[in-house]
Amino acid sequence: MTVRIYDSKQQAIVDLRPIRPGEVSMYVCGPTVQSSPHIGHVRSAVAYDVWRRWLEHRGNRVTFVRNVTDIDDKVLVNAVDEPWWALAYRIELEFTAAYRAVGVLAPTYEPRATASVPEMHALIALLIERGHAYPALDGSADVYFDVRSWPRYGALTRQSIDRMEPAADADPRGKRDPRDFALWKARKRDEPASASWESPWGTGRPGWHIECSAMARKYLGDAFDIHGGGLDLRFPHHENELAQSTAAGLGFASVWSHNGLVNVDGEKMSKSLGNSIFAADLLASVRPIVARYFLVASHYRSTIDLRTAGGSLEGGSLAEAEAAFGRIESMLERARRVGELPERTVPDAFGAAMDDDLSTPQAVAALHETTRAANAALDAGDEAAALARAGEAIAMLRVLGLDPADAVWHSGSSGTSGAEQSAALASLVETLLAERRQARAAKDFAASDRIRDALAAAGILVEDGRDTTTWSIA
């Protein structure tokens, strides 16, 4: 089974051929932590979360990197009553909470830009050495990428340099061409010393684009499989990432992927219109699992139009999503009253849709088709068929991150006591440790390491003694 994915650079759906078969490396541009997350940010995170889950379902080991841009012009401008780093961290926590609320898995790595400044220096030095970057002509500590030195500049968005807007990131007097963009930005008088770093070109801070190129290289290597992000990042951000990484001689991304944006009542969200739907608004208006269902039901590349009921979120699109998802939940409840749901795999129609550039509208249609079939079997008293269909529905819901029984939708719920949670955790850990003992006995050390790593990723420390293995929460 080959997974197919739309490559924005080739403007075509292509077979995903990972550099290392069975492993997929993904870099997704994360937020600039300057103000609270809105529904567009949540949509992007959910889109790539479903990609990741589907690629894993198809047997790939996915390394998923999503960065945090914690130093940027906008972070400095918005930090009025607090240090810039305090604002960045406060907003980062809001993003983490919003992502977690809608069931987005934590990335494999989530680097902050400020922790990779030496790697940015190395990349800038390489670009200067190769003749694609230069220190500012006006003697400041700025360093620019020389767009005219790189014939492929504009390849991602199919633009010619002459028709591009100037890069408004610095005084054009320091530039060879007004479209040259900043890799390193000299510290300005009014900027705090804490927001600047020493560099071979003088004190300053990185440009936004070089941050992502350096972090992708640091965590995924010189070449990786998929680069993702919102459609609004295609130019200049992704065009510049592509130019600087390939001009430095790196393979960079094989596939460029972009998720669509979210409109509200047919209009683009904007500060001036005051129509932005923040993550907090969304999560206050509808159950988080329904918010995720609403986002997943549209194809990740399409524009989602969120319809309100005269400005109220409790109506319109979200009410429809609540009704549609409620039908699936009611069926599952009915089926569970009949018997235990069997472990089933996803139906072929669902798999084919997901393999075809993650066509979730068709996949969700298959889910509803299965729901109707389960209800019909229940009505007809055919319990075996009903349970089989319900088992398939659960398999599909799991891949979409929408299993109503998943702990993520119940964390902090008052129905479960701490003791019950501890008992459940102990039972799960013991099961995994038993599997690991079996793997070791069979000399399958890869499997045994995988289990230990999975436990470590969940914050559980495993210690092997002479005869016994103990565990603790790290």
In the complex, which residues of this chain contact Zn ion (CB under 5 A)?
29, 212
Nearer to Zn ion, 134 or 224 (CB): 224
Least spacing, CB of residue 212 vs Zn ion, in Å: 3
In angstroms, rounded to a whole number, what is the distance separating the alpha carbons of residues 234 and 240? 9
Q: Which residues pair with 73 in a beta bridge?
A: none
CA distances from 20 to 219, 220, 469 (A): 15, 12, 34
Q: Choose between 31 and 401: whose C-beta lies nearer to Zn ion.
A: 31
Which of 228, 391 has the CB closer to Zn ion? 228
Q: How far is the CB of 17 from Zn ion (least distance, A)?
A: 24
Decide if 6 contacts 301 (C-beta within 8 A): yes
Amino acid at 301: R
In angstroms, give the least distance from the CB of 215 to Zn ion: 8
Q: How far is CA 147 from CA 153, 183, 195, 242, 341, in A?
A: 6, 12, 27, 12, 59
**Cα–Cα distance, 173 to 176 (Å, whole number):** 8
Q: How far is the CB of 302 from Zn ion (least distance, A)?
A: 22
What is the β-pairing status of strands 61-66 and 304-306?
A: unpaired
Q: Cβ closer to Zn ion: 256 or 325?
A: 256
Q: Which of 341, 365, 362, 337 is nearest to 352 (CA)?
A: 362
Least distance between Zn ion and beta carbon 226 (Å): 13
Closest approach of Zn ion to the CB of residue 11, in Å:
20
Q: Which is nearer to Zn ion, 29 or 136 (CB)?
A: 29
Is 72 or 403 the residue whose CB approaches Zn ion more closely?
72
Using only C-alpha atoms, the chain has a radius of gyration, in whole angstroms, of 25
CB 1 within 8 Å of CB 351: yes
